[in-house]
Amino acid sequence: MVSLEPQVARLVDELAQYHGHRTLWLDRRGYLCHAEPEDDFEDIGYQYVATLLKPTSDELRATIMHFTARRAARVGACPVPGAFHMHPVPVLMAI
């Protein structure tokens, strides 16, 4: 499994490039992406994760972990922090 740390650092760097808030979405394949807050991807099957303004690594990690725990409770899956990858980013592994 790949460590979460480099992936969080990469996403923090990406989000730092924006002057305003960015919204994180989980796509239908289980990968994270970010977009403008006014963009709504629920109609195409994405799940809203959070809207953030230049999060630190700790804030982003906590947000992702909180989201995976909430999602796991809903879908009956087990969040696996070490399973995060970027390009793309699998957020959950079903058990």
Determine the distance from the C-alpha atom of residue 13 to the mean position of all C-alpha atoms in its chain, rounded to a whole number: 14
Spatial CA neighbour of 35 closest among 12, 13, 51, 59: 51
Direct distance between the N- and C-terminal alpha carbons of the chain, in angstroms, rounded to an integer: 16
What pLDDT does residue 3 have? 54
Task: Give residue-wise pLDDT tens across range 42-82.
Answer: 999 999 999 999 999 899 989 988 988 887 787 765 555 44
pTM of the model: 0.69
Kindly state the tokens that stand for 6.
């480099």
